[in-house]
Structure 1
Amino acid sequence: MSDNTIPDVPVAADTDVFITRAFAAPREVVWQFFTKPEFLARWFGPASVHVDLSTVRVNLREGGVWGLDMVDNESGEHYPMLVHLTVVIPPEYLEGYHPSPAVAQGGPFDRVVLRIWLHDHGDKTRMTLHQGPFEPQFRDMTRDGWLESFDKMDAVIEGDAA
């Protein structure tokens, strides 16, 4: 998509993760949380992982990438995530895709689409995230990971996190 048109939020299927949440910060600030490596490293991933800033890769353009490695706090195992960007419209919309987590296991989906919309909502920002399709176990794990990540983002925004 190169015409810079922000798509409507689709109807989520049962194979998809669909989250809407408000953050207590202006849209431009929330955009930075999604697009600046130093911010991403502070909040991304569930509580059991952290992100080493040196692994964050952000090239905000069509054909660019958005990625990082989540590192398990106990084992040190790395869980890389690399999204190939197809649409970037600052400070409103990101879209890209990454390989399905089950593709190596012969799963029915070969790629997962990630879409993030940011809307002004008074003095807050309303974020809508749509990601899928997933097999059920990966969908639930992904949804739970995003929800824990957004709790961490809230703590950073509110100044409660280091």
Structure 2
Amino acid sequence: MDVQLVIDIHRHLDAPRDRVFRAFVDEDELTAWFGPFAAFVVPGTLSIDPRAGGHRRLTMATFSGSMSWSVDTTYTEVVENERLVGSEQVTGIAAFEGEPPFTVRLEFFDEKGGTRVELRAGPCSRDMEATSRDFWMQSFSKLDSLLARTTGPDPY
């Protein structure tokens, strides 16, 4: 690993914290938004067991199937509606090949008008950091769209 960097992304989402958390741990929800660009999908190859010692395993692919990669996460800490922490290994992307697993930490906070998600991941090389940051920013945009379609206005 050439340089050890940490990815640090904070994102506001216009939905209650329990709704946002569910989008990260429910197979149908995650399938609907996880992955970069609209051209990537999780084609039925997803398994989530959201508990300490559990996992998230998935393969992403282009619609044409010309490109795919796998993400295998072992959860080390899960606190419902608050935190997901795990060790993650990515295969099939050049920036991650030969790299050891890295830690991904997602925290969920109530924030006026919705939820703030704080993501920290690393340590990672410069190439891993750039690829992961792009991936997460695009995925969060897809999550924004999903939440806008599935979260109604607050009745109060």
Q: Give the TM-score of the pair, scaled to structure 2.
A: 0.84
Q: Which residue number in structure 2 is paired with residue 71 of structure 1?
A: 61
Displacement over 6 Å in runs of 4+: none
1:128 aligns with 2:154: no
Q: Give the TM-score of the pair, scaled to structure 1.
A: 0.81
Q: Which residue number in structure 1 is paired with residue 8 of structure 2?
A: 18
> Which structure dedicates a bigger proportion of its chain to strand?
2
Q: CA deviation at 1:80?
A: 0.8
1:98 aligns with 2:88: yes
| CA RMSD in angstroms, aligned pairs only | 2.0
Paired residue for 2:40, among 49, 64, 71?
49
Q: Which residue number in structure 2 is paired with residue 4 of structure 1?
A: none
Q: C-alpha separation between the residues in 2 aligned to 1:26 and 1:104? A: 37
Paired residue for 2:148, among 140, 145, 158?
158
Contact 1:100-1:134 at 8 Å conserved across structures: no
Q: From the superposition, tell whether residues 104 and 154 of structure 1 become closer, same or farther in structure 2 (CA, over 3 Å).
A: closer
Residues paired across the two proteins, number = 144
Contact 1:69-1:80 at 8 Å conserved across structures: yes
Identity of aligned residues (%): 27
Q: CA deviation at 1:104?
A: 4.8
One-letter amino acid of the structure 1 residue matched with residue 41 of structure 2 = H
Contact 1:49-1:71 at 8 Å conserved across structures: yes
Q: CA deviation at 1:140?
A: 0.2
Partner secondary structure for residue 159 of structure 1: helix
